[in-house]
Amino acid sequence: MAGPDLWFTDQATPGLRTSFGVASVLYQGRSAYQDIQVMELHDCGRCLVMDGKVQSAERDEFIYHEALVHPALIAHPRPRSVFIAGGGEGATLREALRHRTVRRAVMVELDPEAVRVCRELLPSWSAGAFEDPRTDLRYGDARRYLEQTPERYDVIILDISDPLEGGPAYRLFTREFYQLVAERLEPSGLVAVQAGAASLIDQPVFPAVVNTLAAVFPQVVAYQAHVPSFGSPWGFATASLQAAGRRAPWAWSPRAVDRRVSARVETPLRFYDGTTHQALFALPKYLREALAQERRQIADDAPLFMP
């Protein structure tokens, strides 16, 4: 054979397809909430796909998860409690637990089947995090959980898949939900959000998420990282209840970031350090302009769906 004969195709837009050669399919099923596939890709290793979209791949999941978790946790002076909405692979939890200060990590994931499949087939994603005594794993709707808990958290991480029409995720991308998140944060707390593709070609959600956060939080910072298996740069945001000061963490020197990382984080990271921190927050001009021009606010009665 000249090349692979089995291909996974991610159709990012009607005119843009990325196709990955598939070495083997390890799992295919439908949970109560979504289609779940685990595949071995020729170039990206093992890969989790939900509802046809790559969630994370063995070769580069460290980029996505380190980018999502560490900026907010490093920015916090002493994060003890972390709340994770979604994050079924367990890798967001894994990165949060690297921080020695963390005493308690509550993770509320909608889909028990997703967690079961990931624990069995993608064990290096969670790497023991589900068994960590600090972990409190719950299955259910993260929004309802936050409505009912009296607890407040130092860092809340929203690791929710993109809001697809007909899926349950869209209610975790609205102003009302972000308001609830703000109420469940400690005064010095931060929230970190995965916010969808951030390419010049394809950024259907990112600017709207950032603008909606800005309706709730005094300080919102957008950032991005390139995740190869997503086929484009990826957008994130972190927000806090405090106004931006002169010495906001986003402007820290690489050396200052490196110092805090080595004081706080147990094992060496592969993606995030002081220099990467600088790369994350230095958005290219065209993206800063797209963010500045955004006027949409996502609300419960005006939701946003991936096209």
Residue 20 in the binding site for its own copies (CB under 8 A): yes
3-class secondary structure, 211? helix
Q: Take residue 177 and report the two structure tokens written for it.
A: 């939900």
Any catalytic annotation for residue 159?
Answer: yes
| Nearest partner of 214 among 186, 188, 183, 240, judged by Cα | 240
Using CB under 8 A as the criterion, what x/- string covers residues 274-303 for binding its own copies?
-xx-xx--xxxxx-x---------------
Tokens of 26: 């390890």
Site for its own copies in 132-151 (CB under 8 A): none
Rule CB under 8 A: say whether 8 interacts with its own copies.
yes
Instruction: Please state the closest distance from residue 266 (CB atom) to its own copies, in A.
Output: 17
Number of residues that bind its own copies (CB under 8 A): 63
Q: Which of 120, 140, 147, 201 binds its own copies (CB under 8 A)?
A: 201
Q: How far is CA 173 from CA 5, 58, 98, 147, in A?
A: 38, 27, 27, 15
Map residues 146-185 to x or -, x wherever contact with its own copies holds by CB under 8 A.
----------------------------------------
Of 90-98, 114-122, 140-148, 268-276, the window that binds its own copies (rule: CB under 8 A) is: 268-276
Do residues 234 and 203 touch, judged by C-beta distance below 8 A? no
Which residue in the list 51, 60, 111, 159 is annotated as catalytic? 159
Q: Using H for helix, E for strand and C for coil, what is the string for 268-285?
A: CCCCCCHHHHHHHHCCCH
Q: What backbone torsions phi and psi does residue 33 show, to the nearest 5 degrees? A: -115, -25
The answer to the question of residue 11 lying near its own copies (CB under 8 A) is: yes
C-alpha span between 139 and 104 (Å, rounded): 17
Is 307 a binder of its own copies (CB under 8 A)? no
> Among residues 24, 228, 10, 22, which one has the least CA distance to residue 121?
24
Tell me if 192 sits within 8 A of 155, measured CB to CB: yes
Binding residues for its own copies, per CB under 8 A? 1-11, 13-22, 24-25, 28, 35, 37, 41-44, 49, 51-52, 59-60, 63, 199-202, 225-226, 228-229, 231-233, 254, 269-273, 275-276, 278-279, 282-286, 288
